[in-house]
Chain A
Amino acid sequence: MAKENLAMIVGKDQVSDAEQILSAYGSDESFVSPGLPAYVVKVKTAQQVQQIINYAKEKRMPVIPVSSPGGPRLRGDTIASQGGMILDLSGMDRILNVDRMDKIAVIEPGVTFDQLEQALRQKGLRAFKPLLPRRTKSVLASYLEREPVVVPRDHWDAIDPLVTMEVIFGTGDLFRTGSASSPPADLQKQLDAGLRQCFAAGPGSTSLSRVVQGSQGTMGVVTWGSVICGILPEIDNTWFLTAATPEPLIDLSYQLSRRRLGEEHFLVNAFQFATMMADKGEIAALAEKLPAWILTVKLTAGGMLPEEQMAYQEKDLRELAQARGVELKSAVMGISGKALAELLDNPPEEFYKMKHRGAFQDIFFTTTLDKTPGHVAVMEEVVRHHYPSNEIGIYLQPMVQGSSCHCEFNLAYDPTDRAKTSNLKALYLDAGAKLAGNEAFFSRPYGPWADLVYGKNGEATALLKRVKKMLDPEGILNPGRLCF
């Protein structure tokens, strides 16, 4: 009966209960327990989303929104732990507007980084991307998950690069946030009037987009969003700064953030760099030869007097590096800055973290850059005797213009080796607990990390539950996630 009702909303061909289809959503790369949905429902319009939510509300049927058109899915946040339906938004893949002057685009949830990047380049713009996203990753899903972008200079606030959104809450209400909420309601008419959906806060004395962001689909379903973009540079030069320990590079990173020098910059250890750059089977060998820590800085120039702009930036960067006894390099172990820049612009088909052993777990949290050596020490202690410490990939991404930092540990493993997988699972849980005890802030609490954070902060958790009740009174949106 449910299948017929759902088919009446989206069409018969867009609803499936075939086991083969359902099983594709039943599990993912995380340690979250598998769970099979009853249906996969593909939608094309906001109106359909609204009708589906109203139907699910009436039937108390879980709805798990999924936007990316393909896997691998990584975090367990799209597993139907309590059954219900996968609401597949990947068919909503239109780019509704790109504006060069205001450097902003309006996109639907199924738009991938690949797709957006192509559209932006035609207008002289570029997307703000996380580090080597998988090619099928939904841009809006990435931004809604607060995945860090490699451009700390332009990351002013945690909500960036997301600006405004159209969202359908668990109540079934359609809402617009920020300046997208202003009349006229018709998006095209807004654009024709010169409005660009470029202001994130509000409307009024709430900014519900902040509540939707980071909610793992538990508060509402986003049907389009505006996202800020960067200007495609005329000249770009990517430089490496290397050191045996992270401290001098951390110091440099702070200086880069303070001066807003360099468009992209991030810090990785040798194994992370090798995992990004080497072919399968050559990762460990390359990692051994690389400097222990590598700070990547991409300088860009464009607009008026680009050569002069690049020249002063390079001189300033060189001076900063020299003052700290760090050499500026255009290549490390034969890998040029240009090669890395090209890779960052065009991520490979295979998701890079899968390359080394076929599977991985990453442990990530928010902290400040100066605290990261302490977190690295905790991690090394946790893995002692359980995992080769020289095979931990470490990625440090300054965020919010350097005021905080995404700290990530990547652990590759062979999923066919049950003993090692089980060992890694225990290590994963242990590391999370110990890092949380060391002031790591699991701001994106996937899977078991939710218990780590929500148990610690009772009043904010109670407040969050009341917000959930307001936006999703029947609790239909992705139940079993976070603290709901």
Chain B
Amino acid sequence: MTRAALRYLPLLILAVAWEAAARLNIVSALALPPLSHVAAAWVDLVRDGDLIDNGLTSLYRLIAGFLLAVGVGGALGLAMASWRWLDAALRPLVELFYPLPKSALIPVTVLWLGFGDGSKILLIFLGCMIPVTIGAYNGARGSDHVLVWSARSMGAGRVRLLWDVVMPSALPELLNGVRTALALSFILLVSSELISSQRGFGYLIGYLGDNGSYAGMFAVVLTVAFLGFAADRLYQILMRWFLRWCE
């Protein structure tokens, strides 16, 4: 307990320094509202329902896009590793789209689907799919040939083989790809909402900033940052539990 406290003490120091800098007018309270004001603004935003409403919209977009990316991307990667013709057809395309800076897709999804949920979900889906595909593909390609051969000689069919042998051995790399996708999904969500949206966390941040209620803006920014951090930690815990069999 004390060790954990000592470890995270620097964060506390930062928080105190923030409060002090703002209180003592070392920096203008306009540029940096005191942390206590930010906390109060956060409580207000929760009470109004603003934070909850916009947050639920954002979470819906995030989860829908992310799950689509994991489902389709994972299936695609496993399929590419299993069927050679599919591999030959799609691998160049995956390699082509892998380095594309995903943020370039923001205006296109707006062009196609407007400013609502659809464009965000499509953006997150497109942006997050490829890391998952590559993780699944590399994981499945790396599965032990002896295992595959023995399963095959014991009469496992293609689908059975995929589900019982290839999938579990692909899991560690697949889950790593999913972790990259998780981080990416938050980035794409917030940036697309900041740039073009009428709801969601990013919209709320922009709205509060434009109205000069900077304490509220800081509160929402910190909320989003914390959610991204918490999602990653939670995912790591789940991943460790999921992979406890493979040592």
Q: Do A and B come from one complex?
A: no
Interface residues of A (CB under 8 A from B): none
Interface residues of B (CB under 8 A from A): none
